[in-house]
Amino acid sequence: MRQRIINWFLGRIFNVTNHFDVIRESKGVIYLGNKPLSKIEHDNLISEIKALENMRIWSILNETVKQAAFERGWKNSKTIEELNIAKTEYRTLEVQQSIINVIKGK
């Protein structure tokens, strides 16, 4: 029950950031903030994403953090707060990947 209340507060009261706060697609147009993304900007972002995904630092930033969060949160956590911290780390990685997916999806 306590966890359900925490999840409700995070989503409703604290207004947790999601990828829609950063980037969204509407009717085939991608908006970064409230400004539509031009074709040139979109192509540049696609190139940057492809380059970033092929860099070693990308796997370090994603896989290493994901593994550490899993071990600390699910395997070794002793309190619900420790689990929530791990969930927050996972959520950050999900938001980053969602932003990439929106850009790559057009």
Cα–Cα distances in angstroms (integers) from residue 82 to residues 70, 86, 88, 92, in the given order: 11, 6, 10, 16
**12 vs 47 pLDDT, higher one:** 47
Quickly state the pLDDT bin for 15 (edges 50, 70, 90). low
Percent of the chain topping pLDDT 70: 84
Q: Enter the pTM of the model.
A: 0.74
For residues 5 and 57, the model is more confident at: 57
**DSSP assignment, residue 38?**
P
pLDDT (tens digit, 9 = 90+) per residue, 44-87? 999 999 999 999 999 998 889 899 888 888 888 899 888 888 88
- Domain ranges in the chain are 2-105
